[in-house]
Amino acid sequence: MRNINMFTSEYSPDDKIEVDPILGRFFDTPEKKAKWIVRIKIAYILWILLMIFGITTFLLMHLL
């Protein structure tokens, strides 16, 4: 394992998530990788919806 400076981007484009010591076990097979990508997409969409809801609620509370 290489020493990586956390403040600079020293990862090369050839680095893969499968070889990461922490995340590698979640992405080691194509099936696991596909499941996690779907979960991440769903979480991202929910995050956007909650942010829109929160900002809208905040603005309505201050405007009314």
pLDDT at res. 20: 82
Q: Which tokens is 45 given? A: 């969409």
pLDDT at res. 49: 98
pLDDT at res. 17: 81
User: Does residue 3 sit in helix, strand or coil?
Assistant: coil
Q: Is 37 in contact with 43 (CB distance < 8 Å)?
A: no
Q: In the chain, how long is the greatest CA-to-CA distance?
A: 57
Q: Is 11 in contact with 4 (CB distance < 8 Å)?
A: yes
pLDDT at res. 3: 58
Q: What is the pLDDT along the chain (64 residues), one digit of tens a residue?
A: 555 555 555 666 567 888 888 888 988 899 999 999 999 999 999 999 999 999 999 999 998 8
pLDDT at res. 11: 60
Which residue reads 């905040």 in tokens? 58
